[in-house]
Chain A
Amino acid sequence: MAIGVKVVERPTEQTSYVRAALTGMAHTLKHMLNPEKVTTQYPEQKESISKRWRGTHRMLTTEDGKAKCVGCGLCPTVCPANCIKLVPGEDEQGNRYPLVFEIDEFRCIFCGYCQEVCPEEAIHMGRHYENSEYSREGFVYDLERLMAQTHPVSELWDPMDPKGE
């Protein structure tokens, strides 16, 4: 089967290279002289992120500075990425608290299940995304580090208010 060659006859306005080139050059010049640029100058300027943004975790604390976590073990259970390590402990009054609470932010898929499942509203996702490190070990956040985070926490999706209004 030979190739059928289709030759389309077009009017001069469409086939003129000169006109097309000049139109294009006018277009680029117009954009060059336009002072409005679209770049966000990142470290100085930041894009606003959603209230439901799920970023770096944060452990909320009680008024006396202790973690709200009671070591119930729900978050390591629900975590699909298996990134939460929790060893629960108990003091003399029978209050449970986490002996070890570590989140590997590298393994985390930021699904937000831990925040949803937490009965004490202790562990939260955060509205924060700048968490670069020099080593892999740096991404394993322990309890002190999770408590020391200061960024705003993310809101859960509310079925009564699906659009967040």
Chain B
Amino acid sequence: MMPVVALLQLTGPTTEPGFGFWLAATVVKLVAIFTVYMLGAALLTLAERKISAWMQDRHGPNRVGKGWLQPIADGVKNFVKEETYPDAANLPIFILAPVISFIPALVTWAVIPFAAPWGSRWGIVEMVLAPLPIGFLFILAISSLGVYGIVLAGWSSNNKYALLGSVRSTAQMVSYEIAMGMATIPVLLLAGNVSLSKIVNQQAFETWNVINLTVAFFIFLVAAFAETNRLPFDLPEAESELITGYHTEYSAMKFSLFFIAEYCNMITASALMATLFFGGWDIPFTLWDNLAPHTGIKTLLTLGAFATKTMFFLFLFMWIRWTLPRFRYDQLMSLGWKFMLPLALGYIVAIASLIVTLQFLGFAQGSWPFHLGLAMLNVVAVIVLFMILDRGRIISPASSRLDQRDIARLRAVSARPRTPLLPETGD
């Protein structure tokens, strides 16, 4: 890692940007990211409807400006609709809840690096809004705040379905937050840092983490689906059981805020998966984009690479949503606690021991035996994972969670001859 950083510093413009330029660049980035993000969330609603339509052999929205202006039409509709306030609602919290769920979704984006740095005439511009040294910890901290919006929405609505939805959401988010955090520890072990820029750099100069840490990626993927409340983990909404759960009582723009928050969370989760496991803005099979000089064209191309990866995951989100049915609540919980968490913990131990062993044997990180070791462990781990997953134990019927002795006892009870309630009269 050290020679790389030195190389970056040597060949780039040596001048640190002045405060004025730094401020201007930050404001420009801020406005640009916010605009793209909001526009992206709006277009995602359209993409969701289009993709779901295509998957069901329909056309999807195609009336307002050939369908492209549909998000604007939806937005205008949401702004002019009547806002309803339930009589029994706790109004201040009721109004605050959508905002609370919306803001963390936006804030998380601030630390994700989305392109190669741009060496401008006035100094290097990092293509990340806030290059925090604690990058990934920040994301973990902020993304778990999103659940407060949902909980408060359900609680303040004073509606039993809303409350049930928010309670489910809390349980789900708390369960999968742990698995999600645990799944990223192998990534941090390899990168030796929690800064997302460093993680991207490490992947660019070695291999993408998805190749060496497929199991961690798999856990992260499932946990990300659960965190964003998307199918097959949309139990907090569950239209058929809970009348869309926590936002039952919401209307107009407040409802829309929850909706936008969901899509923002999706974008962030996709960007995170791209950053942590698919090399971030790295263009595969070439080091050209990672080495100085940092020209504008490099920034644009790497931005394109990052956008492509993110969009792929966004598509995956939708693809899975329109394919898989919702889990049952007990399946969700047993998957989270009995499978994901032990798997993630075991995986951390395996990866950590392997790294220590390889280093003890004298193979430095980045050398080919080191990679070979990781890859071999990964192949074994993936095979074992899918063997276990494929045994029908993970998503199982309720009866399979009964103790064998209980099953035997119940069977004995049902096989016992019935005693008639009334004395038999005889014919």
Binary interface encoding of chain B residues 376-414 relative to chain A, with 1 for a CB under 8 A from any of its CBs, else 0: 000000000010011110111001101000010011011
B386 CB contacts on chain A under 8 angstroms? 18
Q: Bound state CA distance, A6 and B400, in angstroms?
A: 10
Cβ of A160 within 8 Å of any chain B Cβ, yes or no, is: no
Q: Bound state CA distance, A38 and B55, in angstroms?
A: 11
Cβ of B174 within 8 Å of any chain A Cβ, yes or no, is: no
Asked if residues B55 and A32 are in contact (CB atoms below 8 Å), the reply is yes
Task: Identify B319's interface contact among A14, A29, A36, CB under 8 A.
Answer: A29
CB distance from A100 to the nearest CB of B (A): 42
Task: Name A17's closest neighbour in chain B (CB-CB).
Answer: B395
A16 CB contacts on chain B under 8 angstroms? 389-392
Asked if residues A28 and B57 are in contact (CB atoms below 8 Å), the reply is no
Q: With A25-B320, A28-B55 as known contacts, state yes or no: A4 contacts B411, CB within 8 Å.
A: yes
Cβ of A131 within 8 Å of any chain B Cβ, yes or no, is: no
Asked if residues A25 and B390 are in contact (CB atoms below 8 Å), the reply is no
Asked if residues A4 and B410 are in contact (CB atoms below 8 Å), the reply is yes
Q: With A4-B411, A7-B400, A16-B392 as known contacts, state yes or no: A38 contacts B324, CB within 8 Å.
A: no
CB distance from B299 to the nearest CB of A (A): 33
Cβ of B367 within 8 Å of any chain A Cβ, yes or no, is: no
CB distance from B411 to the nearest CB of A (A): 7
Q: Bound state CA distance, A28 and B322, in angstroms?
A: 8
Q: Bound state CA distance, A18 and B391, in angstroms?
A: 9
Binary interface encoding of chain A residues 11-43 relative to chain B, with 1 for a CB under 8 A from any of its CBs, else 0: 010111111010011011101111011110100
Q: Bound state CA distance, A12 and B392, in angstroms?
A: 7
Binary interface encoding of chain B residues 32-72 relative to chain A, with 1 for a CB under 8 A from any of its CBs, else 0: 00000000000000000001001111110010000000000
A41 CB contacts on chain B under 8 angstroms? 59, 62
A17 CB contacts on chain B under 8 angstroms? 389-390, 392, 394-395
Of A7, A25, A28, most B-chain CB atoms within 10 Å: A28
CB distance from B43 to the nearest CB of A (A): 18
B interface size (C-beta, 8 A): 30
Task: Identify B407's interface contact among A5, A27, A28, CB under 8 A.
Answer: A5
CB distance from A10 to the nearest CB of B (A): 7
Q: With A5-B399, A37-B58 as known contacts, state yes or no: A32 contacts B51, CB within 8 Å.
A: yes
Q: With A15-B391, A18-B390, A25-B319 as known contacts, state yes or no: A31 contacts B414, CB within 8 Å.
A: no
Cβ of B323 within 8 Å of any chain A Cβ, yes or no, is: yes
Task: Identify B59's interface contact among A3, A6, A32, A37, CB under 8 A.
Answer: A37
Asked if residues B411 and A28 are in contact (CB atoms below 8 Å), the reply is no
Asked if residues B323 and A24 are in contact (CB atoms below 8 Å), the reply is yes
B323 CB contacts on chain A under 8 angstroms? 21, 24-25, 27-28
CB distance from B277 to the nearest CB of A (A): 19
Q: With A24-B324, A29-B319 as known contacts, state yes or no: A5 contacts B57, CB within 8 Å.
A: no
- Enumerate B297-349 residues with CB–CB distance to A below 8 Å: 319-320, 322-324
B57 CB contacts on chain A under 8 angstroms? 31, 34, 36-39
CB distance from B374 to the nearest CB of A (A): 24
Cβ of A49 within 8 Å of any chain B Cβ, yes or no, is: no
Q: Bound state CA distance, A19 and B59, in angstroms?
A: 29
- Enumerate A64-83 residues with CB–CB distance to B below 8 Å: none
Asked if residues B399 and A6 are in contact (CB atoms below 8 Å), the reply is yes
Q: Bound state CA distance, A121 and B58, in angstroms?
A: 43
Q: Bound state CA distance, A20 and B55, in angstroms?
A: 17
A12 CB contacts on chain B under 8 angstroms? 390-392
Q: Bound state CA distance, A10 and B396, in angstroms?
A: 11
Of A14, A15, A27, most B-chain CB atoms within 10 Å: A15
**5 closest Cβ contacts across the A-B interface?**
A15-B392, A4-B414, A2-B413, A32-B54, A17-B395
Can you identify 11 A-B contacts, CB atoms within 8 angstroms? A1-B414, A14-B392, A16-B389, A16-B390, A18-B390, A19-B390, A25-B320, A25-B323, A27-B323, A28-B55, A31-B55
